[in-house]
Homo-oligomer: A and B are copies of this chain.
Amino acid sequence: MSDSVGVVATQRAVLTQDGPLELESGAVLPEVEVAFETYGVLSPDRDNAVFVCHALTGDAHAAGWHEGAHRPGWWDNLIGPGKAVDTDRFFVVSANLLGGCSGTTGPLSIDPRTGRPYGPDFPALDMADLVGVHRRLLDHLGIERLHAAVGGSLGGMQVLEWALEEPDRIDRAVLVAASSRLTTENIAFSSVARTAILEDPDYRDGRYGEHGVTPRHGLKVARMLAHITYVSEASLADKFGHARDSHGSAKRLGADFEVEHYLQHQGNSFLERFDALSYLHLTRPMDYFDPFTEHPRIRPSTRFHLLSFDSDWRFPTSHSLRIRDQLAARGVRVEHTEVASPWGHDSFLLEPPGYHDLVRAALA
């Protein structure tokens, strides 16, 4: 653990400094609490802050170790002393998303107006709403400008939205395997996953909590399906091939091939850490995301570094090239690098050769 930021605790703050949070839809959240972690030390000039945005099912715990935990934060290989996001130099902030289920206000939170959980009444979210909470958190921490904002997948989409909303607040943006507009097929997969949840008999119109059940079947299927899109066809073949439990003619309908057991494990373990309503609320902002249309004339002063992975078929390089072209057409400084990696979209969580060095260079 010598190269880790060590033991960290998730902090919480109630962000009421600007009153209730009005969402893009017009709905109002009277009170927003945010769960966040910080690593490193904020400089006296407050000019070394790096904001890390997590992906769909991430949380505030990006680096270091929680007391007694068996694994570090989800981006611990990237964030720490001497690492690409160097906590000897930077003050790193990582916050759980609005709508999530890991400490920040979301569908499981109590609506102070009713004294009951929001449940299905939690309002639909926009990418700008997710970013709005990050903005408030920065204000709360007294940080005016960011040295950099970094995010992978949905995290990168938040960074893009943020840079277009506050064009002078982020000096450097690193978007890894991100997208500025999902394809129709992306939306289709996302829609099947949501249907699995919404039509699970145990969804109960979103009031499953009040009935003491969860739409675990639907949420599991949603995760299994999504997981296939996070990895590459070649990596699945290399890892599992056609290995199976049964032999000869003793075939079965249930899980038999190793890849099936792997997906079962992915789906089942997801149920222990994620909520179905959060899944619904956090996938939707991606489907609707179209920031270059919504902010037609904004020209951020941010310097953009885009990274994509050659085996990513969820948000392939074409998505990053679209971002590059849209930014370049506005005269924004932007660079893109395609990184060779066998692991598909999930490469942003791993260490394919060259990747972390590119992030380090982008923050220099």
A191 touching B242, Cβ below 8 Å = no
A327 within 8 A of B: no
A56 to nearest B CB, angstroms? 15
Q: Which of A24-44 contact B (CB under 8 A)?
A: 24-26
Q: Which of A62-70, A179-187, A346-354 contacts B (4 or more CB under 8 A)?
A: A179-187
Cβ contacts A169-200/B at 8 Å (1 or 0 each): 00000000000010111011101101110111
B25 touching A251, Cβ below 8 Å = yes
A361 to B242, CA, bound (A): 36
A183 touching B233, Cβ below 8 Å = yes
A228 touching B288, Cβ below 8 Å = no
Q: Which of A6-14, A145-153, A217-225 contacts B (4 or more CB under 8 A)?
A: A217-225
Beyond A225-B225, A242-B181, is A253–B198 a contact (Cβ under 8 Å)?
Answer: yes
A187 touching B259, Cβ below 8 Å = yes
Beyond A185-B233, A236-B185, is A191–B255 a contact (Cβ under 8 Å)?
Answer: yes
Smallest CB-CB separation from A124: which chain B residue? B251
A242 touching B189, Cβ below 8 Å = no
Chain B residues whose CB sits within 8 angstroms of the CB of A166 once the complex forms: none
Beyond A201-B201, A251-B124, is A195–B221 a contact (Cβ under 8 Å)?
Answer: yes
A260 within 8 A of B: yes
Task: For the complex, count residues of A whose C-beta is within 8 A of B.
Answer: 55
The 8 Å CB contact of A126, one of B26, B251, B253, is: B251
Chain B residues whose CB sits within 8 angstroms of the CB of A198 once the complex forms: 253-254
Q: Shortest 10 CB-CB distances between A and B: which pairs?
A: A184-B236, A191-B260, A185-B233, A184-B237, A199-B217, A192-B224, A196-B221, A124-B251, A201-B201, A253-B280
Show 18 A/B contacts (Cβ-Cβ < 8 Å), sorted by A.
A26-B249, A183-B237, A184-B236, A184-B242, A185-B233, A188-B228, A188-B236, A188-B259, A188-B263, A189-B228, A191-B259, A192-B221, A192-B224, A196-B196, A196-B221, A218-B221, A221-B221, A251-B288
The interface of chain A, by Cβ under 8 A from chain B, is 24-26, 124, 126, 181, 183-185, 187-189, 191-192, 194-196, 198-202, 217-218, 220-221, 224-225, 228, 233, 236-237, 239-242, 249-255, 257, 259-260, 263-264, 267, 280-281, 284, 287-288, 290
